[in-house]
Amino acid sequence: MRVLLLGGTAEASAIARGLAGDARFAVTLSYAGRTRAPMVQPVATRSGGFGGVAGLVDYLRHEGVDALVDATHPFAARMKANAANAAAQAGVPRLAVLRPPWVAGPGDDWTLVPGMAQAAAALGLVPRCVLLTVGQQDLAAFGPPHRYVVRSVDPPARPPAGAIVLTGRGPFDPASELALLRHHRVEVLVTKASGGADGKLWAARMLGLPVVMVARPPPPDGPIVPDADAALRWLHGQAACRGV
Ligand code: NAP
C-alpha cells in the first residue's frame, strides 16, 4: 500500500526506518524543503509544498495514496490542518503523530506564553543573555536590549543584531547543553513547547535558569498517536484491513 509520510521530525524518520524494507509498504516521505541538508532516508523522499489543500488532494489522488501519516512538527499547524482537510476530501485514512508536550517538574521556572511577541516581552527590559531555540523563521520579535545565542538547524537569514549563531540538529545531550549554557553565561531560555528530547530543560533546571516557553498551537482533529511505534502499529492495521 502507498503511504505518504509528512516529515521534518525525528518521529517521521523513525517511521521511515520502521517501514523501509517492508514489502507491504511503498513510502514517500515529504519534506517542506526548509533545511539545506535534510537527513538521508531509507525510503523515497520528495521536497516542497503541495500547493495548499487542493494541491494535496490532487497529490493523494494522482499518486494513489492509501494512507497519510502526518508526522510534522507540533508547531507545523498549517500543514496539519491541510493534511486533515485534504485526507477527508480524498477519502484517505489519516493519522497524526504528536509527541507529548513537556511537563514542568520541581525546580522548573517556566513562563508559558501564547506567541513569539509575548515571549520577547516576557524577557523584560533588563539586558540578559538569552538562548533562543525557536527555529530560524521566528526570530523577528527578538531584539535589544538582550544578548542572544541563537541555535537552529541552518543559519538564520536575519538573526537579532549581535547574536551568536550556533547551528546544529538535535537531539542534544544534557551534559553538552549544560556546558553550552555555562560557556555563554546564558541567563534565560526561550523555546517552543515542542516536546521530545529535553536536554536544555534539564540543564536549565540544574542551573536554576528561567525558561520562556511558547505554547503549542491546537492539535488537529482526528486520530492522534504520541510516537513512531504507535504510528507503525496503525499502519500495520491499515495493511491488514486491505489484506496486504
Ligand atoms: P507550516 O507552517 O505548517 O506549513 C507551511 C507550508 O509548508 C504548508 O502549507 C505546506 O505548503 C508546506 N509544508 C509543511 N510541511 C510540509 C511537508 N512535510 N511536506 C511538504 N510540504 C510541507 O510548517 P512549518 O512550521 O513552516 O514547518 C515546515 C516543516 O518543518 C514541517 O515539515 C515541519 O515538520 C518541520 N519542522 C517545523 C518546526 C517548527 O517549529 N515549525 C520545527 C521542526 C521541524 P503547501 O501548502 O504548499 O502544501
3-state secondary structure 31-59: ECCCCCCCCCCCCEEEECCCCHHHHHHHH
Contact 163, 152 (CB under 8 A): no
Cβ atoms 84, 212 nearer than 8 A: no
d(C-alpha 194, C-alpha 196), whole Å: 7
In this prediction, residue 107 carries a pLDDT of: 87
Q: What is the pLDDT of residue 37?
A: 87
Distance 178 CA to ligand 1 centre (A): 30
Helix (H) or strand (E) holding 233: helix 228-241
pLDDT at 212 (0 to 100): 98
List, for residues 20-55, the tens digit of each pLDDT value. Answer: 999 999 999 999 999 888 989 999 999 999 999 999
* Long-range contact set of residues 238-242: C-beta below 8 Å, sequence gap at least 24: 238/1, 238/66, 238/67, 238/93, 239/1, 239/24, 239/25, 242/1, 242/66
Query: Which secondary-structure segment (H or E) carries 132?
Result: strand 129-133
Supply the pTM of this predicted model. 0.96
| Residue 134 pLDDT exceeds 90 | yes
Closest ligand 1 atom number to CA of residue 12: 34
Residues in a beta bridge with 110 = 211
Is the beta carbon of 10 within 6 A of some atom in ligand 1? Answer: no
Cβ(83) – ligand 1 distance below 6 Å: no
| pLDDT tens digits along 176-186 | 999 999 999 99
Distance, CA of 177 to CA of 133 (rounded, Å): 12
Q: What is the pLDDT of residue 157?
A: 94
Q: What is the chain's mean pLDDT, rounded?
A: 97
Residue bearing the CA closest to ligand 1, atom 38: 73
CA distance to 109, 180, 193, per residue, from 211 (Å): 6, 15, 11
pLDDT band at 175; cut points 50, 70, 90: very high
How much distance in Å is there from the Cα of 187 to the middle of ligand 1? Answer: 31
Q: Answer whether residue 151 shows pLDDT above 90.
A: yes
